[in-house]
Amino acid sequence: MAVVYEFVWQVLHVLLHIHRTLITWFRTRLRNWNGQLWSRALTALLVPIALSFPNPKNLVPAPGKRVGRRYRCGTDGKSLEKLPDHIALLIAEEEPRYTDIANLVVWCMAVGISYVSVYDNYGVFRRNNSRLMDEILKQQQELLDLEGSKQLSVEFLNNGTVKQDQQVLSCQSVLKVLSPDDGKLRIVQAAQQLCRAVEQREKTSKDINVTVLDSLLRESKSTPDPDLVLKFGPVESTLGFLPWHIRLTEFISLPSHVDVSYEDLFSALQRYASCEQRLGK
C-alpha cells in the first residue's frame, strides 16, 4: 500500500513541476511575442509618417524590447498611494543576471524610492560589488537617454564607505548590497559587543533591551527598515535576509528576475500601495 502512495506522490510532483515549467515557458513566450507584435505594429504605422516628415529620428522606435515600455517613472511614483521608503530585492535564484538587477535598481530609484537593497543568499553581489555598480551606472545612463530631463544621483553605501556620484543632484537614493553576513552574524556581533561591555563593567545585563540592540543593528540612524521585499525566484523563504529588520516587511514574490519588466515592478508596487498595516491593533 505504501508503494502505491509513493507512486501517486511521485506522479503528483512530476505534474506540479511540468505545470511550473509550462507557466514559465508561456510567460516568456507571451512577452517575446508581444514585444515583436508591438514593434511590427508600430513600425508599420510610423514608417509612412517617417517618410513624409524631414526629421524621422524621434519617430522610429528603437529596436529590441524597449519598444512599448512606458518610461514615466517619476509620475508613476507620484500616482501611487504609498511608496516604500526602503525596498529590498531578494534574488532567490541560482544565476543572477546583473543587467536585470541593475534595471530594477534604476527603476526603483527613478520611481522615487529612497533606499534600495540587493540581497542574495550566496553573497555573490557582495563579492562582485564593482561589477554590479558598473551595470547600474550603465543602465542609469540608458534610462537618462530615454527620459531626457531627469537626473539621478546615486549614493553607493557599502561597508560604511560612501562613494559620491558625479552627477547633478535632483533626487538622491541610497543603494545597499547585502549578504547573509548582514543578518544573523550582525546580530551575534552586536551581542558580543554588548557582552564585552558587560565584561568590562561598562554596562549591566539589565541595560540590554530591544532599543539598545536596535540602535546597534541600525547602520545609520536615518536608514529605515525594509518596507517591501520583492522576492525573485521559486524558493519560498527569506533565506536568511536581515531577520531583525523584517518584522513588519511586506513580501511580494515575483517568478524571476531574468528579463523582468518595468510593468512587473510597478504592479508589485501597486500591490504594496493597497496593503493595510494594523500594527497589532
Interface residue list for another protein (CB under 8 A): 1-2, 5-6, 8-10, 12-13, 16, 121-122, 180, 183-185, 187-188, 190-192, 194-196, 198-199, 203-206, 208-210, 212-214, 234-241, 243-244, 246-252, 275, 277, 279-281
Query: Could you give the 3-state DSSP secondary structure of residue 153?
Result: strand
In angstroms, give the least distance from the CB of 65 to another protein: 29
The residue among 42 and 187 lying less far from another protein, judged by its C-beta, is 187
In angstroms, give the least distance from the CB of 172 to another protein: 28
The residue among 236 and 263 lying less far from another protein, judged by its C-beta, is 236
Contact 140, 152 (CB under 8 A): yes
The label of the residue with cell 531626457 reads 148
In angstroms, give the least distance from the CB of 169 to another protein: 34
Question: β-strands 115-120, 172-178: how paired?
Answer: parallel
The residue among 142 and 181 lying less far from another protein, judged by its C-beta, is 181
Q: What is the separation of C-alpha 31 from the centre of its chain, rounded to a whole number of angstroms?
A: 20
**Which amino acid does the sequence have at 142?**
E
The label of the residue with cell 547600474 reads 136
The residue among 50 and 239 lying less far from another protein, judged by its C-beta, is 239
Residue 115: strand pairing partners: 86, 174
The residue among 60 and 188 lying less far from another protein, judged by its C-beta, is 188
- What number of other Cβ atoms are within 10 A of residue 70's Cβ? 10
Contact 174, 115 (CB under 8 A): yes
In angstroms, give the least distance from the CB of 137 to another protein: 31
